[in-house]
């Protein structure tokens, strides 16, 4: 089993969101990589200017180059929007194993629940968001992604969020109107084992969506985490999830 794990974060975040997972994986002997996507993390202060012209294809190209520079095919772990990216890399034969946490919908998955439809409506209400970078909103973050984080920690985590590419969000949640097909995954080309896990209290990616994500892969295993939501990477008990993943990898 390869010892390199590349972890790809989701919208508005950075590699920092894998800190709890990193501690567990490194204690098990894995070498962890958690790069910031373009305009995120360490670049968040200047990200707004960069992200206005960035999309999912740019993230995919960035992560492809990163993975190809490693000495062996790694384990790929993607969270939320990052889970779409790692599926694409796996379809290019760049993953030894694939772990999908709270996976955002790839092209072809229609939002099945009212909260997911409401998110799309919220995005539409702000106008042509796909032409600019979008700043995070604290109230929306508390509802959609930080809902199981302790109240006294929500603001601290939110303050680490940065802007996100409106184009990338459009390509993810409105894939049916994206003529570039930026979130298409050739699921039939993914040959490696797949683990998919999702929180039952996730308000942005429903269990139905996560199960449909996993359902395309013959070797997929699915975990429903009853006491977790979208940001299961940093919620109380994150280290137990990471330990369970490490056991599965072993």
Residue 150 scores a pLDDT above 80: yes
Verdict on whether the full-model pTM lies above 0.85: yes
In tens, the pLDDT along 195-213 reads 999 999 999 999 999 999 9
Nearest partner of 168 among 42, 39, 46, 5, judged by Cα? 39
Q: What is the pLDDT of residue 49?
A: 86
In tens, the pLDDT along 19-59 reads 999 999 999 999 999 999 999 998 888 878 899 999 999 99
CB atoms near residue 103 (< 10 Å): 27
Nearest partner of 161 among 128, 139, 132, judged by Cα? 139
Q: How buried is residue 14: exposed, middle or buried, by Cβ count under 10 Å (0-12/13-18/19+)?
A: buried
**Domain map (residue ranges) of the chain:** 4-249
Residue 81 scores a pLDDT above 90: yes
Mean pLDDT in residue range 167-180: 97
What is the CATH code for 4-249? Answer: 3.40.50.1820
Of 63-67, 81-85, 184-188, 215-219, least confident by mean pLDDT is 215-219
In tens, the pLDDT along 88-147 reads 999 999 999 999 999 999 999 999 999 999 999 999 999 999 999 999 999 999 999 999
Strands (E), the chain: 4-8, 31-33, 75-79, 97-101, 133-134, 164-165, 194-199, 220-225
In tens, the pLDDT along 222-248 reads 999 999 999 999 999 999 999 999 999
Q: What is the pLDDT of residue 46?
A: 83
Contacts of 247 (CB under 8 A, 6+ apart): none
CB atoms near residue 40 (< 10 Å): 27
Q: What is the pLDDT of residue 178?
A: 97
Q: What is the pLDDT of residue 2?
A: 63
């Amino acid at each position: 089993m390869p010892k390199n794990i590349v972890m790809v974060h989701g919208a508005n975040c950075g590699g920092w969101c894998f800190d709890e997972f990193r501690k567990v994986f490194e204690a098990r002997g894995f070498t962890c990589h958690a790069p910031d996507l373009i305009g995120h993390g360490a670049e968040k202060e200047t990200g707004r200017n960069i992200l206005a012209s960035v999309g999912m294809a740019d993230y995919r190209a960035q992560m492809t180059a990163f993975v190809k520079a490693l000495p062996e095919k790694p384990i790929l772990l993607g969270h939320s929007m990052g889970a779409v990216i790692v599926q694409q890399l796996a379809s290019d034969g760049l993953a030894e194993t694939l772990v999908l946490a709270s996976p955002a919908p790839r092209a072809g998955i229609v939002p099945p629940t009212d909260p997911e439809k409401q998110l799309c409506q919220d995005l539409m209400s702000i106008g042509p968001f796909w032409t600019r970078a979008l700043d995070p909103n604290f109230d929306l973050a508390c509802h959609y992604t930080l809902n199981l984080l302790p109240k006294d920690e929500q603001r601290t985590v939110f303050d680490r969020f940065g802007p996100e590419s409106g184009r990338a969000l459009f390509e993810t949640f409105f894939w049916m109107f994206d003529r570039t097909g930026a979130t298409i995954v050739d699921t039939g080309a993914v040959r490696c084992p797949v683990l998919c896990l999702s929180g039952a209290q996730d308000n942005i990616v429903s269990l139905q969506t996560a199960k449909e994500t996993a359902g395309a892969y013959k070797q997929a295993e699915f975990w429903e985490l009853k006491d977790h939501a979208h940001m299961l990477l940093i919620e109380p008990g994150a280290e137990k999830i990471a330990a369970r993943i490490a056991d599965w990898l072993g």
